[in-house]
Structure 1
Amino acid sequence: MRVLHTADFHAGRTLRGYDRTPEIRDALNEIVGLARSEKVDAVLVAGDLFDTVNPPADAEAAIFAFFLALRDAGIPSIVIAGNHDSASRLSGLSGLLGWVGVQVVAQPSHDPRQMIRTVETRSGEKLVVGALPYLSERRLVKAADVMGAEVGLWRQKYREGMKFFLGQLAAGFEAGAVNMLMLHATLDGAVASGSDRGMQFDLTNAYTVSPLQLPAAAQYVALGHVHKPQELGASPLACYSGSIIQLDFGEGGEKKQVNLVEVEAGRPAKVHPIPLVSGKELRTIRADLETLDARLSAVKGFDGLLKVVVRAPAGTALPGLKDRVLRQFPNALGVELEAVKDEATVQAASREGLSIEQLYERYHQERRGELPDALRRVFKETDTAVREAAGDGI
């Protein structure tokens, strides 16, 4: 069986006022082409189809065209809601999407069986997917309450609640079928892209899932939420496919991909990353005033999107700088000033709050190395004597 795993489309995304949806549409067309050429049996989309809960019409058109193209190719798909999606909106559309072969799991159900989706493939093999949409702590508490669990426990530990749902989904796996799990969540050990808004916080707080909590019976775990493609854990094999274009300058330089998963019932899955070429390359240029022209000349002919950061002394006014850059590079979406403090200011700030003894120790380290204990005692005694003499009015 061959399954294509993708996620994090973010249709409707704008970057500093620049609409990225045409690039996202191109990437979706590329993914449909790969699904055809690789003869996949199903496509898994692990959340964040849209960038906002109320996407513009062209973003919806791009997503629906993607699913219609998969329908025309005879390829079924399974989709979950991500944190950027409107779960209620996707839930309302699930009936219509079902007519074109899209199985949607947008919200948790009081009956875990409602979160199990199956596909009878052309080869006769059966694919079973436990599909868990994004669950914030608030939604997890509400879902646990509906299912009759002790709500107080969910409030205490997010991951214990997730463990409950994951266990319920694993109970729906079938012998003799290919069993997969799909969720939109943050796993411990995941590395965020610079553009994963709020993700750096998520990766260090309590609202994560341990790879050890993933059901061992899952042959593959299709993850969404983190935009950097990566593999986490081997038993079960869990992977983020990442976003499909460089969505933000924090993702500049990242190679985007989809994951082609080859698997058969009862055997470990094999993952083959397939690179995507759609979408403009994003690049950040950093320079000071003296090197700015040279740095810009070095990227002449670059047809992606630029952010230019100019380092200058704090308080410097640079009228006309943005116009100067845009004349050379109309594709520059941002021109920013990065204040650089002069050395004297930096040194003064570094001395702030230090005692005279600490200042002397720092001075000695910079000039002669580590301060000997004997010399420290002499300095301290001298300092004390001077202070006492000053107190006596001498």
Structure 2
Amino acid sequence: MRILHTSDWHIGRTFHGSSTLTALRGVLDALVAEVRTRAVDVVLVAGDVFDSATPAADCYTLLTDTLAALRDTGARVVVTSGNHDSAARLGFQAKLLRNGIHVLTDPAAIATPITIADEHGPVHFYGIPYLEPVLVRRLWPGVRTQAQALTRAMDLVRTDAAVRGGRFVAAAHCFAAGVEATPHLERDIQQGGLDVVPRAAFDGPDYVALGHIHGRSVLSERVRYAGAPLHYSFGERDKPRGAWLVEMDAEGLAEVQWIDLPVPRRLVQLTGSLDELLTDPRFIPDEDAWVSARYTDTVAQSDPMRRLQQRFVHCAEVRHTPAVRAAADTRTFTARVEAAGADDARLIDAFLAHVRNGQGASDDESDLVREVIGERVGAEAAV
């Protein structure tokens, strides 16, 4: 049996204010093509299908089109919900879906697998939706953390699988111990580290398909994250996009290989002075990429985003990161003013140094300041 493990589609997510629906549709079309070409039997989607609990209508359209296209390849599809999804909205039409498409969002049904047979016999697929402790406490009294909830869910899975016999696979959405998250990207589902799920919780299944982390990760040969199909942050720009192709034989897990998916538009981080970013030929290959610009001028420049977008149409982020920073001055601004003395020109120079990373007035600026001050003094004397 061939299983394709994917997750974290985040349908409806924006990238720095730009819609990602068109790009995601192209990537999911490529995923469907891989499923068809490689004769995949089962597609597992491990949570965060949508980016929001209240997705827009066109998000449902993309999901419906993709699920139907996957089913048309002959593959069965098993989908679980993640922390971004509304389990109720994602699962409300589960019973109305085409035969062979299974949306699993009910914690009470965790121990009821989707069973799919191959030439070696049955394989049981257990879908574990994202388990919010406060919501599952009525089912499992005493559960206080997500780690406890996942452990309880996996205990139910192992117990049921032992009765049924044969091979079995689990899909879950969580933050597992030992995985590296993308800073500021994956929405925190931890509280003081108590909700980090220990890897031992996933002992037993022939394969565990995890979702929530946006970069691929291998916790063990049989416990993996597939990551997201699109880059949703500059922090993950160097992480590959794709899915895991899992081969099962009569004994269980036989082989796992990575399948790359296309990247609609590269993400790059460019660093240099603003003038270099605007004119240097070495940045020509990046002109059509998503750009995060770091300009290193000592003084903040005016309107850098507009100016950079004249060259990099898809510049989405600009940060001022001076190459040289002034030594830290712990004095208050009032103390700096007092130290500068009563001369107006010196006070202005002190203020400029305060707001411009230690750089006071240039020679031209000093001349202009003194000219203005002189005109002001002359005007007051004439009154």
- TM-aligned CA deviation for residue 214 of structure 1: 1.3
Query: Which 5+ residue runs of structure 1 have no aligned equivalent?
Result: 350-394
Distance in 1 separating the partners of 2:243 and 2:311: 35
Deviation at 1:100, TM superposition (A): 4.4
Judge conservation of contact 1:182–1:223 (CA < 8 Å) in 2: yes
> C-alpha displacement at 1:203, in angstroms?
9.4
Report the secondary structure of 2:196's partner residue: coil
**C-alpha contact 2:241 2:260 (8 A) present in aligned 1:** yes
- Structure 2 length as normaliser, TM-score? 0.79
Q: Gaps spanning 5+ residues in structure 2: where?
A: 333-383
In structure 2, the partner of 1:392 is none
- Deviations 1:18-48 (Å, cap 9, x if unpaired)? 1111111111111111111111111000011
SS in 2 for 1:334: strand
1:199-278 to structure 2, matched below 5 A, reads 199=188, 202=190, 205-216=193-204, 218-234=205-221, 237-278=222-263
Q: Which moved more, 1:302-311 or 1:4-13?
A: 302-311
Aligned residue for 2:328? 345
Preserved contact between residue 220 and residue 269 of structure 1 (Cα < 8 Å)? no
- Could you tell me whether the CA contact under 8 Å between 1:223 and 1:239 is conserved in 2? yes
Match in the other structure for 1:172:
160
Q: d(CA) in 1 for partners of 2:271 and 2:134? A: 41
Q: How does 1:73-112 map to 2 (within 5 A)?
A: 73-97=73-97, 99-109=98-108, 112=110
TM superposition shift of 1:96: 2.1
- C-alpha deviation, 1:170, in angstroms: 1.5
2:268 equivalent in structure 1: 283
Determine if the alignment matches structure 1 residue 134 to structure 2 residue 118: no
Q: Deviations over 1:53-73 (max 9, x none)?
A: 111222221111111111211
> How many Å separate the matches in 1 of 2:191 and 2:252?
31
Aligned match of 1:182:
171
TM-score by length of 1: 0.77
Cross-structure match for 1:66: 66
Question: For the structure 1 residues 77 and 195, does the alpha-carbon distance in structure 2 shift closer, same or farther, using more than 3 Å as the test?
Answer: farther
Deviations 1:187-218 (CA, angstroms, capped at 9, x unpaired): 1000112452344x8497211111112132x0
Percent sequence identity is 26
Note the aligned Cα RMSD (angstroms). 2.4
Q: Give the AA of the match of 2:328.
A: T
- 1-side partners of 2:111 and 2:227: how far apart? 28
Do the aligned partners of 1:179 and 1:265 also contact (CA within 8 Å) in 2?
no
Aligned to 2:182: 193
Q: How far apart are 1:317 and its partner, in Å? A: 4.3
Report the Cα distance in structure 2 between the residues aligned to 1:298 and 1:108, rounded to whole angstroms.
53
Q: Which amino acid aligns with 1:136?
A: E
Once the two structures are TM-superposed, the CA of residue 290 in structure 1 deviates from its matched residue by: 5.8
- CA offsets 1:299-320 (integer angstroms, 9 cap, x no match): 213322112122344xx44223
